[in-house]
Amino acid sequence: MGKGKKSSSAKRRPADINVMEKTDKEAKENKQVKPTTAQGQPTIESCLNLKKPIRNKPLSPVLDDNSTKKANKQSEAKDADELNVSKQEEPVEQIIICGHNEQTAVPHKASETRKQTKSGQRTNREKSTDRKLKSKESLPNHKVTDYFPVRRSCRKSKAELKCEKQRHIEDLIKNDVEEGLKVKCIDGKGRGVFADRLFQKDQFVVEYHGDLIEIADAKARESEYAQDPSTGCYMYYFRYHDRTYCVDATKETERLGRLINHSKNGNLQTKLHEIDGTPHLIFLASRDIRADEELLYDYGDRSKEAIAAHPWLKH
C-alpha cells in the first residue's frame, strides 16, 4: 500500500478494544442526542425540564389570557360555595313577630345582623323592624268596646241630686206629708214627738207649720198671748231676704212640727225652703236618728226672762 493512513483493518488487542468500547459508551451518555424531527414540531426536551423533579400528574397545556380568567372565575365560584356552606352551618335566630291573634316566625342569621352589605343594603334586623311596623299598620285599630261591653254610668251629678231632693221636699210640703212620726206623753215635759223609723242624716223629717207673719204682727200676737199664762208660745222668728218673719204655730192643729221639744244637743236642724217665693221652715236630721228616738232641736232662746219662765231651756 502507498503512503497514507493505516488500514483500519489492523489488528488490535482485546484489552484495547474493551477500553475503547467503554470510552465510547460514556461519551454517548454525556452527549445530547438531537432527535430527528420535522421543523416546527415540539420535541420532548422542550417540554421537560431535566433539573425539576419528576411529576406524578400530566402537565397541563399552556393557557392563554382568556383561559386564565376562566380558571380564576371557577376558583372564585368554588370559594363562594365553600363560604355559603360555612354560613349555612352558623346558628340561626328566630324573630317572632306578634300580630293580631297570630305569630309569624322569621329566620334571621346572627352574622348578618351585625354587618351591612357593601352596597349599602339594610340589614335583616332593619327589615324585620319594617315588617313589624307594616304588620301593626295593617292590623285594624280595635277599641275596648269591641271586646267588652261598656256599662254606661248611671251616676248623677251633685246638681242633679240636689235638684231631685228639692223637688221631693217640695212635694212633701205641698201635700202636708208627715210620715214616720208619732206622739208620746213624757213626764215633766208633756207631749213629745218620736221617730217611728230610721231617718238618715240630712233627710227631711217634718215642717214647722203655722201662720207666716211679719215682725210687727208677731209682736202684737206675742203680747196678747202673754196675758193668758195657760197659752203656750209657739212662735219662731227668722230672717229671710234681710227681713224678719215669724211662723206662729200657737194655734192647736194636727201638725206635729209644733210639738217638738227643746234640747241644746238636738238631733234636728232648721232650714228655710222656698216654694214659689214663700219661705217654709223645715226640720232635717242632723245625724242618723234611730226608731223610737225623741226628736229635739235647740230653740236658741237664752234670755233670762225665757229661762225664768221655762227652766227646761237650760238643758
Provide mean pLDDT across the span 176-186. 92
Calpha distance 121→308 (Å, rounded) = 107
Calpha distance 145→245 (Å, rounded) = 59
Torsion (CA) 301, 303, 305, 307 in degrees, nearest 10: 60
Residue 203: what pLDDT?
94
Calpha distance 212→229 (Å, rounded) = 23
Residue 270: what pLDDT?
93
Residues 6+ apart with CB under 8 A from 217: 246
Q: What are the tens digits of pLDDT across the range 58-73?
A: 444 444 444 455 555 5
Q: What are the tens digits of pLDDT across the range 127-177?
A: 677 776 666 555 566 665 565 565 665 677 888 888 888 899 999 999 998
Residue 174: what pLDDT?
92
**How confident is residue 220, by pLDDT bands cut at 50, 70 and 90?**
very high
The three-class DSSP label of residue 315 is: coil
Give yes or no for residue 42 having a pLDDT over 70: no
**How confident is residue 193, by pLDDT bands cut at 50, 70 and 90?**
very high
Calpha distance 152→117 (Å, rounded) = 57
Q: Which DSSP symbol is given to 51?
A: T
Q: What is the pTM of this model?
A: 0.50
Q: What are the tens digits of pLDDT across the range 253-270?
A: 999 999 998 888 899 999
Point out the least confidently predicted range of 45-59, 94-108, 146-160, 280-294.
94-108
Q: Going from the N-terminus, what domains does the chain have, and what CATH number goes with each?
A: 180-314 (2.170.270.10)
Express the helix, strand and coil content of the chain in percent, nearest 5 each: 35, 20, 45
Residue 121: what residue type?
A: Q
